[in-house]
Amino acid sequence: MSNNADLVIHGGRVVTPDAEFDASIAVRNGKIVALGSADSMPPAAETFDAEGLHILPGAIDVHVHFRDPGYPHKEDWASGTAAAAFGGVTTVFDMPNTIPPTGTAEILAAKHEIASSKAHVDYGLYGLLGEDTIDAVPALCAGGIIGFKCYMGNTFGKIPSPSTGAMLEAFEVVAQTGKRISLHAETNSIMERRETKLRAAGRADPLAHLASRPAVVAIEAVSRAAILAEWTGARIHILHISSADELRPLREAKARGVDITGETGPHYLMLSSDDYAKIGGIIRDTPPVREKHNQEPLRQALMDSTIDLISTDHAPQTPEEKTSNTNWTAS
């Protein structure tokens, strides 16, 4: 077998978890086979000049909503994964709130078919963990999923949130599989009551969206999920952490040994409620972008590993959908 490389990248600045340095990289059969000075590289079929560029490992985005199947006017697996590749994201984990929701082995198999035929990057699929999908847990695991998604609160697709009783049973079942359960941790009954009152008062503006989901929806949901995880031994992950206040139950759960991880998104770190007037309806997201005083504690939590990672929660809508004041769940 030839020792030649398929590709050598020259002149770039290589970034690893520990260091940053100038180096050339040789690639064969999709794998890095040499890293070092330019004159130490093997001959290559192709060379690429990365002068002035940084070279980083491909990013893994653990939280995307490609709208396929079900919403082809928003996106599909080809366009979504092409965008990911252009952004340096080489693996995506896709959420189950497509049509139909990914809650049975048959629906999962059909989604794998679509994804594997169109995807430009590596991918994983989440299975839906809801009131009526607990019996499907073994079949979903056998069908190939990265983990489960449980909607404690309403978001795009209006998947009903399970009762606490169903969640406990679901956690017991999933704990046996070793799969992690990712949680949309906002308590639905709080949001529903507040939204109903705001609607009755004639409110439907973007700030009403924030008012309907105060941070207590997340504090309550994270605390409750952590208690159920502790009881059952289930491994859980808190999605899109938006508030400083939900960090306390997350920290406390970690401290007492619950297998719990968390993520936030760039919009919670870089935008605040001050931006609603400037940006308008397109800022509406679930959970909502919150008051500015949340940003620094979220950053600190990333630095001290209370929050484990950043995801995009990529979830495209049409401009009309984003700017319509009737859309309360624009994630």
Q: Which is nearer to Zn ion, 67 or 179 (CB)?
A: 67
Q: Which is nearer to Zn ion, 195 or 285 (CB)?
A: 285
Q: Residue 252: which H helix or E strand, with range?
A: helix 247-255
Angle between helices 77-86 and 105-118 in degrees, nearest 10: 50
Instruction: Considering the complex, state which of residue 175 and residue 307 has its C-beta at the smaller distance from Zn ion.
Output: 307
Closest CB to Zn ion among residues 173, 186: 186
Report the alpha-carbon distance of residue 32 to residue 28 in Å, rounded: 6
CB atoms inside a 10 Å sphere around CB 326: 7
Residue with tokens 């319509």: 324
For 161, other C-beta atoms within 10 Å of its C-beta total 24
User: 133 or 155, CB closer to Zn ion?
Assistant: 155
Smaller CB separation from Zn ion, 24 or 154: 154
Q: How far is the CB of 239 from Zn ion (least distance, A)?
A: 6
Min dist. Cβ of residue 315 to Zn ion (A): 6
122, 140, 263 from 288: Cα distances, Å: 29, 31, 15
Instruction: Give least dist CB 95 to Zn ion, A.
Output: 5
Provide the token pair at 312. 């995009």
- Residue 96 CB, nearest approach to Zn ion (Å): 10
**Residue 20 is inside which H or E element, if any?**
strand 20-28
Burial of 295 (0-12, 13-18, 19+ CB in 10 A): middle
Residues that bind Zn ion (CB under 5 A): 313
What six digits make up the tokens of 211?
């008012």
Instruction: At 183, list the tokens.
Output: 């949680």
User: What gap in Å lies between CA 94 and CA 97, rounded to an integer?
Assistant: 9
**Alpha carbons within 13 A on the beta-carbon side of 261:** 11
Closest distance of CB 313 from Zn ion, Å = 4
195/313 with CB nearer Zn ion: 313
Residue closer to Zn ion (CB basis): 47 or 91:
91
Classified as helix, coil or strand, 54 is strand
Residue 75 or 313 with smaller CB distance to Zn ion: 313
Q: How far is the CB of 246 from Zn ion (least distance, A)?
A: 16
Least Å distance between CB 53 and Zn ion? 31
45: three-class secondary structure by DSSP: strand
Backbone angles phi, psi at 122, to 5 degrees: -70, 155
CB of 215 to Zn ion, least distance (A): 18
CB of 214 to Zn ion, least distance (A): 20
Tokens 């929701």: give the residue: 101
At residue 46, what are phi and psi to the nearest 5 degrees?
A: -140, 140
Closest CB to Zn ion: residue number: 313
